[in-house]
Amino acid sequence: MKTEPFILTLWITLALIFVVATGALLENSAMSELRYNHATLIHQTQAIDRTKKRWSAEESNNDIEYLKQHQSLVKHEKRGGNLYFEFENLSSNEFNILSNKILNSILVIKKITFKRNGESKGSIVVEIES
């Protein structure tokens, strides 16, 4: 008989715990989903930003300028979202440097043609994304 008030309090506390625990469980479940969504968003945002930046025209600005100012450049124009370059009459070394420059860059090459003209001359036609 003495324990009855305690038992009543115990039941009330248990009921409260049940309510709070259910709420906490639901909250935790929603929280886990939110954390996952947040982590995914951050990962995707960073990955997209990094890849875009790496292959951006700004990153290759020096290379594009180099192509534009090359002494053997015979044609240069903008085609849609691309830049078109034609280099003619390239000596062995010029050809070597220019092809190396293009292939070792992070220019987005849409089309490219390396061609031999005669014994020691060559031409390069390249279309890159701007």
Partner 1 sequence: MLNSFNIQWRTLLRRPLRLAYGDPTALLPSETIVILSPSEYWVLKVLLPVKTSKEAARYGSGLFELSGSHRYEAQKVGENSFILIAYDPERISEKLNSLPYLSQVEKITFAQWVFDEVPYPIALSNGKFLTTVEGIVIEIDAPYVRKELSITLSEALEHPKYFLKTLRRKELVTSAFTAKTLKTTLIILMILLGNLGATALRSYQESSHLQEEMERALKLSNLPETSIEREAILSALKTKESKQLYFRHQCKKISDIPIETTKNPDLPLIPIPPISPSSEEGLVLIPGSKPNDANRLLLANTSHIAPLSRGTRMQEIRYEGDAITLIFDVGDSSTKDKLKNEFTQRFKKVHINERDTQLEVRLP
Question: What gap in Å lies between CA 29 and CA 20, rounded to an integer?
Answer: 14
Q: Does 15 bind partner 1 (CB under 8 A)?
A: no
Binding residues for partner 1 restricted to 86-125, rule: CB under 8 A: 91-97, 99-101, 103-106, 108-116, 119-120, 122
Q: Whole-number minimum distance, CB 81 to partner 1, in Å?
A: 13
CA contacts within 13 A on the Cβ side of 18: 6
Question: What gap in Å lies between CA 81 and CA 59, rounded to an integer?
Answer: 17
The single residue among 30, 74, 76, 80 that binds partner 1, judged by CB under 8 A, is: 30
Binding residues for partner 1 restricted to 31-90, rule: CB under 8 A: 31, 34-35, 37-38, 40-42, 44-45, 47-52, 54-55, 59-60, 62-63, 66
Question: What gap in Å lies between CA 40 and CA 50, rounded to an integer?
Answer: 15
Structure-token match 């390239």, residue found? 90
Closest CA to 83 of 98, 61, 51: 61
- Terminal C-alpha separation, the chain: 87
Please report, as ranges, the residues that interact with partner 1 according to CB under 8 A: 2-3, 6-7, 9-10, 13-14, 16-17, 20-21, 23-24, 27-28, 30-31, 34-35, 37-38, 40-42, 44-45, 47-52, 54-55, 59-60, 62-63, 66, 91-97, 99-101, 103-106, 108-116, 119-120, 122
